[in-house]
Chains A and B, each alone.
Chain A
Amino acid sequence: VQLVESGGTVVRPGGSLRLSCKASGFTFNIYWLSWVRQAPGKGLEWVANIGKDGSEQFYADSVKGRFTISRDNAKNSVFLQMNSLRVEDTAVYYCAREVGATDRWGLGTRVTVSS
């Protein structure tokens, strides 16, 4: 099982960014996927998750209306579109697989929001 995130970079406040996560080693379309972030020196914060066929999405209040999670089962990929970025969105963003519990994590991609 592998989850490989990409797309993290430095972006200005108010800017947008799209993170990608490419999965391999398992049957992608039977699992919920999620994004979890970790601000520098802080704990883990669940951001969003998406159902097996993409028809259901849930978000943390802190990102609702600004972030959108989506998936492409044909490409074994999940995405996080982040708009109206704020300084407090600075974090390592992890892609994760859910089986109820979060059972597999990617290595993460770093997003820095700074002017």
Chain B
Amino acid sequence: EIQMTQSPSSLSASVGDTVTVTCRASQGVNNYLAWHQQKSGEPPKLLLYAASRLETGVPSRFSASGSGSEYTLTITTLQAEDVATYYCQQYYSIPWTFGQGTKVEIK
């Protein structure tokens, strides 16, 4: 099983800031890496897939990059509506696994 480790577990930033979340896999996942956003009381929502491809309808302030076993999610110009928990997910090898989540709050 591929273990996914996110950092930080939580962060607090101001509106307009740029925030970065890191996801590290216990082995390479060949860019089969997705990022999901989950707001309180809601189901998750896919933001990006294939390491860096933006899902249709997702604002362009969300971006992601990485390769091998290290990936990052970047939110530029943080908005109040971006308050949520963000999860990375590998879909390279079953069982699919998720990071533990990064909670993003507004300062």
Minimum distance in angstroms from B39 CB to a CB of chain A: 12
- Minimum CB–CB distance from B49 to chain A (whole Å) comes to 4
Select which of B43, B91, B94, B99 is within 8 A of A101 by beta carbon.
B91
Which residues of the partner chain A approach B75 to less than 8 Å between Cβ atoms?
none
Is the C-beta of A79 less than 8 angstroms from some C-beta in chain B? no
B interface residue count range (under 10 / 10 to 19 / 20 to 34 / 35 or more): 20 to 34
Is A10 at the interface (CB under 8 A from chain B)? no
User: Are A94 and B100 touching (Cβ within 8 A)?
Assistant: no
CA distance A103 to B34 in the complex (A): 9
Residue numbers of A with Cβ under 8 A of B are 34, 43-46, 49, 58-61, 94, 98-108
**Which residues of B approach A to under 8 Å, CB–CB?**
1, 32, 34, 36, 38, 43-46, 49-50, 55, 87, 89, 91, 94-101
